[in-house]
Structure 1
Amino acid sequence: MDNPGYARRINLMDAALIVVGGIIGGGIFLNPGIAAQRTSSGWMLLALWVAGGLLTLVGCLCYAELGARRPQAGGSYVYLREAFGKLAGFLFGWTMLLVIYSGSSAAVATIFGSYATSVFGLPPDLVKPLAVGALVFVTGINLFGIRLGAQVQNVFAILKLAAIAVLVVTGLAFAGAGTSAAMAPSPSAVTGDLAGALLPVLFAFSGFSYLNNLAGEVRDPQRTLPRALVLGMLIVIAAYVLTNYAYLAVLGHDGLAASQAPAADVMSRVFGAAGAKIIAIGIAISTLGFCNITLVAGARVLQVMGEDGLFFASVARLHPRHRTPNIALAALSGWAIVLVLLANYGQLLDFAAFGDWAAYAVTIATLFWYRRHVKERPSFVTPAYPLLPLLFMATVIGVVIAYTLSKPLSAGVVCAVVVAGLPVYAVWQRLFSKVAR
C-alpha cells in the first residue's frame, strides 16, 4: 500500500502530556508581568489566571466533543471543511501554514535561542542560528514515527513541569517575604484594564487544540481525547496559578509588574546567578517541547489538505514504515525557519496569537452545525450546551477585538493573509484540485 493510514499509538498519558506541551511554552515565564501591570492586586491577578484557565477549559470541552465526533487527523481543518465547506477549511490551513503554527514555532524557537545564548554565554548573533537548529532538531525526531515523537514529547513535558515545580517550591519556601503585601492592592498598578490583562493570560493558555490534529493516532480516541484534554488542562491551570503565586510571593505585585523576566528574577533573587541559569535551562527545554508539538500537529493538517486536493499531493503521503507525514512536516518546518530569519520575536508572537484565538472561536462555531445536522450522539458531549460554547465564543471575540484595537497592524497583517487566501483558493481549484475524498 503506497499510503498507509496513521497508526494509533498515542495512549492517555501521551495525549495528556501533548495537551500540556502544546500550552506551556514560554508564555508563563514572560506574560505574568504584563498581566500584573494591568491588575490592581495579587489576588486579582490570581483570579484572572483562574478565570483564563476555566475559560480555556470550556474550549477544551468543546474540542473534546468535536474530537469525539470526528476522531481523525486534521482537527480544526476537518471540522471547518465539513461544517462550512472546503473554502473555510482551506483558509484555516492556509493561515495555519503561513502565520499561526509556523509563527508560533518560530517565535518560541527564538525564545530557545535567546535563553540558550544566555545560559552558555554565547554571542547574541547566534540566537537565530540556534532557533533554526532547534526547529531542525524537533523535525528530525518526528520523521521516525509518532511513538518516538510522543516519547520525546513526554520527556519535554515532564522537564518543563519540573522547572515549574522548582519555581513553585521556591515561591512557597520564601513566601515569608510577606504574602499579604504581595496580594494587597497596588497603588502603582494600572487598573480598569481587565480586557487588556486577559490578553496575555489567554495567549499563555493557547495551544490546547493541538491534540485534535493528532486524533488519527490516538488509541480509543472517543474516550481518550476528552479525558486527555480535561486532564491536561487541569494540570496546566494548577501549574499556572501556582507559578503566579510563586512570582507574587517572592517579587510582590509591584515587583512582578516591573519584571521583564519574572522566572529568572525569582530564581536569581533567591539563588543568585546559578538559580537564573537553572531556570533558563528549564525555559529552553519548555520551548523545545512546544515547537515539537506545534510542528507535529500542523503537519497533520497539511497532510489531510493534500488528501483533499487543497494542497500539493506530495504532502498527503505518509512514510510507508513510520506512517508519518514527513513531507508535510518538512514543509511546515521549512517555512517556520524562513520566519525565524525574516521576523523578530514580537512580530511573530503578535501574528500567531491573533490568528490562533480567532481560529478557536470560528472552529467552536462548527459545534452548532454538528448538533443540528449530525444526529448521532458522540461518546462525549459539551456540558451546558449551548451556554458554554456561546460564553467561550463571546469572550474570545471580545479579546480579539481588544487585541485588534491595541495592535491594529498585527491584526491587519493576519486578516490580509486570510483575504489573500481567497484568490489562491480560486486558482488552486481551477488548476490543481481533484475530487475530495
Structure 2
Amino acid sequence: MNENKGLKKNLGVATAMATVVGCVIGSGVFFKPQAIYTVTGGAPGLGILAWVITGLASIAAALTFAEVAIMIPKTGGMVAYLEEIYSPIVGFLAGWIQTLVFYPAMISALAVAFAQQAALFVGESFMIPIAVGVIILIIFLNSLGSSVGGGVQVIFTVCKLIPLLLLMVFGFLKGGGGNAIFTPMVGEGLNPAVVLGQLMVAILFAFEGWTNVGAIAGEMKKPGRDLPIAIVGGVSVIMAVYFVINIAYLWVLPADQLASLSAPASAVALELFGEMGGKLVAVGIMISVFGACNGFVLSGSRVAYSLAATKSLPFSDTLAVLNKAQVPVNSIILVGGIGCIYAVSGRFNLLTDLAVISSWMFYTLTFIGVMKLRRDWPDAVRTYKVPLYPVVPIIAIVSGIYVIINQIFLAGIQSTLLSAGSILVTLIGIPVYRNVRKRAVLQEKKR
C-alpha cells in the first residue's frame, strides 16, 4: 500500500496520546463496576486485580502493536499493517469490518451513553435525537480539519480527567475507607479461574480504543518517535487511572452495593457531594464520552479514506475526496452516518459487544504479524522493538485468542449471534473487494 500523500502531517505526540486516552476512557470506567462485582459475587478482590491483569495484557498488546505501527506508519492503521504483512485482501477485510461495524458501533454506543446522561436533564423522550445530534456535531467539527478534530480531542481529554480526579481525590479524603478492597477474592462457590476470564472480557471494553492512534500515523509529524510514546504511555496512564478510581469507589461504597447500581460512579458522587454529585458526574460522563466519540470518528474516517484511496471500496472516488481543509469529509460522513443509524437502537451494551467482537480477530492477526515481520524482514531497520521478545507478543496473542474463543463459545447466545453476524459481514467483504478491484482494473485499461 502506498502511503497517502494528500493528508497534512500536523498531528503531534500530545494529540496522538490524547487520541489513545480519549478513545479509551469513555464510559467503561463509570459503568463497568456493576458488571465486575456482579461476576465476583459481590467480592472486591479479584475485581480490583482484574483491572491490573487486563491492563498489563493491554500494555503487552500495545507494545506489540507499536512495533508494527512504527514499521508501517501509514494512515489506515491495521488496514495498512495487515495488507503489508499478509495480503491486500486481509487488510481490506480489516478495514471493511472497521468501517461498517467496529467504528460505527463504538461511535453510536458512546453517543447513546451521552444521551442517557443528558436524559437526566431533559427527559428520556429526547434520548435518541440527542445521540444522533451528538454524532452529527462531531462530523461537522471533524470536517473543519484534522487540527480542529485533534484540538477537540486534546481539550475533551483534559476536561474528562477533571471529574475522574474529583472522584479519586474526594473518594479518599471523604470516604470512610472501612470497606474491604482486596479480600475476599470471589464470593462463595465461585471458581476464581472462570471468574477471571469473565472479568477480563468485561474490562477489555473499558480498554478498547488504544489502537486508534495507528490509524492517524500518516498525519503525525514524527511517527517513529511519537507513536510508541502515545500508545504505551496512553495505555499506562489509563491503567493507572482505572486502578486508582476503582479503589476510590470501594473506599466509599462496598463491592456488593456497587454490584446493584447501574451507575456506580453517580452513586459514589452522590455519597460524596450530595444531590448535586449525581449531576456533576453525569456532566463528567457526557464530557468523557463526547471526547471518546470524537476520537473514534477521527480515526474511523481515516480507515475508510485509506481503503478508498486504493480504490478498494464501492464509491471510492467519492470517499477519497479531501475538502479544502484537507480532510476526507465524505469518509467522515460515511462512518458517522452509519453510527447515526446504529444509535437509533439506543442499546448501549449491545453496541459495545458488537464493536468488541468485530475487532479482536484482526487485533490478534496484527500481534502475530510482529513475529511474521521479524522472519520476513530480518534486515529491516527497526527504530522500536518489542521488549522481551517473544514473551510480550506471545502474551498479546494468547490474550487475543482467548477473547475470540470466549466471545464465540462461552459468553452466551447473544455474543455467539453477534460473532456470527460479524463473521458474515467479514465474508461478504470478499466478493465486494474482488468486484471493486475488478472494476478498477477495467477502468485503468480503458484509460
1:418 maps onto 2:426 in alignment: yes
Q: Which residue of 1 aligns with 2:350?
A: 347
Unaligned runs of 5+ in 2: none
d(CA) in 2 for partners of 1:73, 1:294: 14
Q: Which residue of 2 aligns with 1:148?
A: 148
Q: Which residue of 2 aligns with 1:336?
A: 339
Q: Equivalent residues in 2 for 1:231-310 (5 A)?
A: 231-310=233-312
- Of all paired residues, the percent bearing the same amino acid is 30
Shift of residue 259 of structure 1? 2.0
Q: Which residue of 1 aligns with 2:182?
A: 183
Q: Deviations over 1:85-141 (max 9, x none)?
A: 1111111111111110110101110001110111x2x22121111011110111111
Please tell me whether the aligned partners of residues 16 and 230 of structure 2 are also in contact (alpha carbons under 8 angstroms): yes
d(CA) in 1 for partners of 2:310, 2:69: 19
Please tell me whether the aligned partners of residues 36 and 189 of structure 1 are also in contact (alpha carbons under 8 angstroms): no
d(CA) in 1 for partners of 2:19, 2:217: 12
Q: Deviations over 1:46-77 (max 9, x none)?
A: 21101111111111111211121111211100
Q: Which residue of 2 aligns with 1:367?
A: 370
Q: Deviations over 1:326-375 (max 9, x none)?
A: 11111111111111124622321111111122321122222222212222
d(CA) in 2 for partners of 1:300, 1:417: 20
Counterpart residue type for residue 354 of structure 1: I
Please tell me whether the aligned partners of residues 72 and 215 of structure 1 are also in contact (alpha carbons under 8 angstroms): yes
Q: Secondary structure at the match of 1:74?
A: coil
Q: Equivalent residues in 2 for 1:218-229 (5 A)?
A: 218-229=220-231
Please tell me whether the aligned partners of residues 92 and 312 of structure 2 are also in contact (alpha carbons under 8 angstroms): yes
Q: Secondary structure at the match of 1:409?
A: helix
Q: Secondary structure at the match of 1:209?
A: helix
- Indicate how the Cα distance of structure 1 residues 322 and 80 shifts in structure 2: closer, same or farther if over 3 A, else same: same
Shift of residue 210 of structure 1? 0.5
Query: Mean Cα displacement is larger for which, 42-51 or 194-203?
Result: 42-51
Query: Mean Cα displacement is larger for which, 183-192 or 265-274?
Result: 183-192
- Alignment match of 2:388 (pick from 384, 391, 395): 384
Shift of residue 425 of structure 1? 2.1
Counterpart residue type for residue 326 of structure 2: R
Shift of residue 288 of structure 1? 0.6
1:13 maps onto 2:14 in alignment: yes
1:44 maps onto 2:43 in alignment: no
Please tell me whether the aligned partners of residues 37 and 259 of structure 2 are also in contact (alpha carbons under 8 angstroms): yes
Shift of residue 387 of structure 1? 1.7
- Alignment match of 1:400 (pick from 400, 404, 409): 404
Please tell me whether the aligned partners of residues 141 and 148 of structure 1 are also in contact (alpha carbons under 8 angstroms): yes
Q: Equivalent residues in 2 for 1:116-131 (5 A)?
A: 116-118=118-120, 120=121, 122-131=122-131
Q: Which residue of 1 aligns with 2:34?
A: 33
Shift of residue 390 of structure 1? 1.5
Q: Equivalent residues in 2 for 1:32-181 (5 A)?
A: 32-39=33-40, 41-118=43-120, 120=121, 122-179=122-179, 181=180
Q: Secondary structure at the match of 2:20?
A: helix
d(CA) in 1 for partners of 2:9, 2:74: 10
What TM-score comes out, normalization by structure 2 length? 0.92
Please tell me whether the aligned partners of residues 23 and 204 of structure 1 are also in contact (alpha carbons under 8 angstroms): yes
Q: Which residue of 2 aligns with 1:216?
A: 218
- Indicate how the Cα distance of structure 1 residues 189 and 30 shifts in structure 2: closer, same or farther if over 3 A, else same: farther
d(CA) in 2 for partners of 1:55, 1:329: 31
Counterpart residue type for residue 319 of structure 2: V
d(CA) in 2 for partners of 1:201, 1:124: 28
What TM-score comes out, normalization by structure 1 length? 0.94
Query: Mean Cα displacement is larger for which, 423-432 or 250-259?
Result: 423-432
Counterpart residue type for residue 15 of structure 1: A
Shift of residue 190 of structure 1? 4.9
Please tell me whether the aligned partners of residues 35 and 198 of structure 1 are also in contact (alpha carbons under 8 angstroms): no
Q: Secondary structure at the match of 1:166?
A: helix
Please tell me whether the aligned partners of residues 304 and 319 of structure 2 are also in contact (alpha carbons under 8 angstroms): yes
d(CA) in 1 for partners of 2:345, 2:380: 47
Q: Which residue of 2 aligns with 1:431?
A: 439
Please tell me whether the aligned partners of residues 37 and 190 of structure 1 are also in contact (alpha carbons under 8 angstroms): no
Q: Deviations over 1:168-214 (max 9, x none)?
A: 112212343404x3433164695531101111111110100010000
Counterpart residue type for residue 324 of structure 1: V
1:200 maps onto 2:233 in alignment: no
Counterpart residue type for residue 383 of structure 2: S
Counterpart residue type for residue 234 of structure 2: G
d(CA) in 2 for partners of 1:362, 1:4: 27
Shift of residue 7 of structure 1? 1.5
1:326 maps onto 2:334 in alignment: no
Would you say how many aligned residue pairs link Structure 1 and Structure 2? 429
d(CA) in 2 for partners of 1:184, 1:154: 38
Please tell me whether the aligned partners of residues 357 and 407 of structure 2 are also in contact (alpha carbons under 8 angstroms): yes
Unaligned runs of 5+ in 1: none
- Indicate how the Cα distance of structure 1 residues 233 and 135 shifts in structure 2: closer, same or farther if over 3 A, else same: same
